Amino acid sequence: MLQSLWQKYKKSMLFPGILVLCGLCYFYFSSSDSSPPQEELIETIQPIEENNLIDSTKETAIQQVFVDIKGAVLYPGVYELQQDQRIRDAVQLAGGYTEDADTQLINHAQKVQDEMVIYIPEKGEQLEEGTTNFISLPAENNSNEQKININKADVSALSTLPGIGPSKAQSILSYREENGPFQTIDDLKNVSGIGDKTFEKLQDSITVN
């Protein structure tokens, strides 16, 4: 019976069947083309991830630093800045200079660094020969191994300290020979010619151990 029906209607069913098949093929291939390949999706995602990484790197690149500003400023102390800021920014945070400040040897354009010490001298302040730098950069000599031991250093080594020239270095040596080793770094102020201002400049560079 099915065979007789097929023989009777096969010509009339053949053309619609072809149309249906063509329609199915069209929808299948058009839907396949509309979805991008997996490789294209990966290439699209990667630039987005790279941009996010660049943005986060820029944020972490701007780090905070702490500087200690001393001497002839209105508000001496430790201040927090960004690593791309300058000496002038640190001075502004400290309230600016006092009327007696001597700023001729200060490089206001120098960038700040973490643990930097900035000393601003006063006008007419007596400076030892060869003392021209009032910016103390954070160096490895913050450790006791790198600091100058005032109980052991000779005249040459003592002369390298901020505010200490050959004459004061010899005074330190003479005091040490007459009174014995320094018990604390504050004892250095007992040496003739070394006052509070000179001691303030060099206290972070010396040790007695």
Q: What is the mean pLDDT of the chain?
A: 75
Q: Give the other-Cβ count within 10 Å of 62's Cβ.
A: 9
Q: Is the pTM of this model over 0.85?
A: no
In a domain, 180, yes or no: yes
Instruction: Convert the pLDDT of each residue in 35-70 to its tens digit.
Output: 545 555 445 555 555 555 555 555 545 578 888 898
C-alpha span between 110 and 108 (Å, rounded): 6
Domain residue limits at 96: 63-137
Total of domains in the chain: 2
CA atoms within 13 A on the CB side of 185: 17
Check which CATH number belongs to the domain holding 149 and give it: 1.10.150.310
Check which CATH number belongs to the domain holding 70 and give it: 3.10.20
